[in-house]
A and B are shown apart, each in its own frame.
Chain A
């Protein structure tokens, strides 16, 4: 238990001189910050300022034009492979498989990720948390947009990520869903790292640090 606590409190995310350019269009440049477990960061900025692009780079699914993103635990840098397995992402452009049920989605993706944990227990916990336990065997194509958003949370939290990244965290959610997300965010930033990309001032206020994209101010 002590090891586990130490691991959780030792995770750090360090971003140095990050820049992204699409063809000749500069999206952002000189983004640098460092956050550790127990801390949280809001990424704000107007539409098209590059919030989602920055999130994709942080998740390792998009290359930066310049700069580095480094995850470390207890001062030891993580490889891309290990860092990816410690990340959880909820985002509008992240989709799950419509032809599978919620439970099948979690199981298949967990197997592809090679997660080594008691799946039944964790999936029940995650699906109950987001209120989808009773609909776990229904195909995702029958879900409403709000239910799909809830399922994304179950997927993001299933492997208990050290870094949770939320892009537009409350999109499509009802009041009950928003309160679940708020609780998830509070828990996450207490013991690990939380990053929120949003236009909403209330959501940005969940975090202690803030980066505003658009005028390069950090």
Chain B
């Protein structure tokens, strides 16, 4: 018969938090690969939106500003359709309480944030590859360093905002409509900045020209992640 044990857990809380967060990310990745809650929606959105843009453009040659705008519009709507699933799927399956029992709010927050970051990076990679194939004639990245940094910081920014919005929305009754309504005003600063920086990478501007944009992005990520971390426990618990 199982009897209560003396020290069943790590006493080193920091090590325990890191290993817990890593285990949660692994659980979410395995779960996603089996259920395809977000992946299918993500792939469908990427393919249909890029195809729509392709048919709309026909033989027109868009400017770098238009191209970068369309690039991030695809990323935005795809991310909105898939990143919200991270908490909604736990609510729908009734496993929220299981997670609450086994992990602290900070472990859940950072675990979900990391998973959303991985998902957003995969998404931007998929959109970039598709763009380079479909719009090979005019989607030419001249300053690769600006583009890579923008995509990484942009993905982190998207994930940090989307994670806390998803946590709030998962507790609401009107999940479907609330997510885009809450997301747009929060993400508008991020969207404008990544579009500017991407246009600079397509125009072949030097890395130094995008420093201001990178500072805004880093500030956005820090503010959003810090604020979310402080707020998350209240959202998660009740």
Name the distance in Å between A107's Cβ and chain B's nearest Cβ. Answer: 9
Check B2–A112 contact: CB distance below 8 A.
Answer: no
A-B CB contact pairs (8 Å), 17 listed: A93-B94, A94-B98, A94-B101, A95-B97, A99-B34, A99-B35, A100-B34, A104-B30, A111-B26, A112-B103, A113-B103, A114-B9, A114-B15, A160-B8, A188-B4, A191-B3, A191-B4
Residues 5-29 of B at the A interface (beta carbon under 8 Å): 5-10, 13, 15-17, 19-20, 23-24, 26-27
In the docked arrangement, what's the CA distance between A7 and B94, Å? 33
Give the chain B neighbours of A86 by CB distance below 8 A: 4, 8
A217 — which chain B residues lie within 8 A by C-beta?
Answer: none
- The digit string for A158-195, where 1 denotes a CB below 8 A from any CB of B, is 11111000000000000000000001100110011000
Interface residues of A in 93-118 (CB under 8 A from B): 93-100, 104, 108-109, 111-117
With both beta carbons as reference points, the residue of chain B lying nearest to A81 in the complex is identified as B104
Question: Does B95 contact A95, Cβ atoms closer than 8 Å?
Answer: yes
**A129 in complex: contacting residue of B1, B8, B17, CB < 8 Å:** B1
The chain A residue with its CB closest to the CB of B106 is A81
A160 to B2, CA, bound (A): 6
Partner of B4, one of A56, A97, A161: A161
For the complex, is B145 an interface residue (Cβ under 8 Å from A)?
Answer: no
B188 at the interface (CB under 8 A from A): no
Beta-carbon contact of A112 and B20 below 8 Å: yes
Is B60 engaged at the interface, CB distance under 8 Å to the other chain?
no
B237 at interface by CB-CB < 8 Å: yes
In the assembled complex, which residues on chain B have CB atoms less than 8 Å from the CB atom of A70? none
Please tell me if the beta carbons of A4 and B2 are within 8 angstroms of each other in the complex. no
Q: In terms of DSSP, what is the predominant structure of the interface of chain B?
A: helix
Distance in Å: Cβ of A52 to nearest Cβ of chain B: 11
CA A112 to CA B24, docked complex, whole Å: 6
A108 in contact with B4 (CB, 8 Å): no
Give chain A residues whose Cβ lies under 8 Å from the Cβ of B26: 108, 111
Distance in angstroms from B119 CB to nearest chain A CB is 17
Q: Which of A24-32, A41-49, A59-67, A207-215 contacts B (4 or more CB under 8 A)?
A: A59-67
Interface size on A, residues (CB 8 A): 54
Q: Is there contact, CB below 8 Å, between A109 and B98?
A: yes
**Candidates A63, A96, A129; contact of B237 at CB < 8 Å:** A63
Query: B63 in the interface, Cβ–Cβ < 8 Å?
Result: no
B100 on the A face (CB < 8 A) = yes
| B102 in contact with A112 (CB, 8 Å) | yes
Give the Cβ gap from B30 to chain A, nearest Cβ, in Å.
Answer: 7
B58 at the interface (CB under 8 A from A): no
Contact A112 B95, beta carbon cutoff 8 Å: no
How distant is A55 from chain B, measured CB to nearest CB, in Å? 11
Docked-complex contact A160 and B34, CB < 8 angstroms: no
What residues on B are CB-neighbors of A87 within 8 Å?
A: 101
Residues of B within 8 A of A91 (CB): 97
**Chain A residues, CB < 8 A from B20:** 111-114
Contact A3 B6 (CB under 8 A): yes
Of all chain B residues, which has the CB nearest A37? B4
> Which among B6, B10, B99 is the interface contact of A114 at CB below 8 angstroms?
B10
